[in-house]
Amino acid sequence: MRKRSSGRETSEQRAPGVKTYTISRLESKQVEPRLRAKVVHAARMTVTLYSFRGGSRFPHHVHSQEQITYVLDGQLTFVVDDQFHRLRAGDLIVIPAGVPHSAKAGSAGAEVLSVVSPPRRGARPLTMLEPNHRQKR
């Protein structure tokens, strides 16, 4: 039998360490103007659902985690090592750790699922590379 509470489903007969979540119940946080995120941290990775409004962007940054981002809906253009990668729903990109990158949504916006490993935790999980851009995550 399942019980639901605060974004997480639990089961009476569940293996140790197994957790399930209901995305619609997770807290949504503003990351940038017109960009929101829902985050789940696990022992060895962080999963984030990003919701980009049309034309919004995630500024140029770098982090120590490897990143895989899958586009669920819309279009997103990544700039990685000065190369443009235009992704549509169903596409994914793998970005190695330590490689600077940014992302910008198409005019209709985008919804993407991003997985980084190791988990994104601590006081400085990423470094913004754009001048005058304050650290928000």
Which of 5-9, 122-126, 127-131 comes out lowest in average pLDDT? 5-9
Residue 58 belongs to a domain? yes
Tell me the backbone φ, ψ of residue 93, rounded to 5 degrees.
-130, 145
pLDDT tens digits along 43-83? 999 999 999 999 999 999 999 999 999 999 999 999 998 99
pLDDT of residue 16: 85
134 belongs to a structural domain: no
CATH number at residue 68: 2.60.120.10
Q: What is the mean pLDDT of residues 125-132?
A: 81
Domain contains 34:
yes
- Range(s) of the domain holding residue 112: 28-121
Number of domains in the chain: 1
Q: In what order do the strands lie in the sheet with 8-11?
A: 2-5, 8-11, 20-21
Does some domain include residue 10?
Answer: no
The answer to whether position 108 is within a domain reads yes
The string of pLDDT tens digits covering residues 86-119 is: 999 999 999 999 999 999 999 999 999 999 999 9
% of the chain at pLDDT higher than 90: 71
Q: How confident is the model at residue 136 (pLDDT cuts 50, 70, 90)?
A: very low
Residue 1 has what pLDDT? 42
Q: Quick check: helix, strand or coil at residue 24?
A: helix
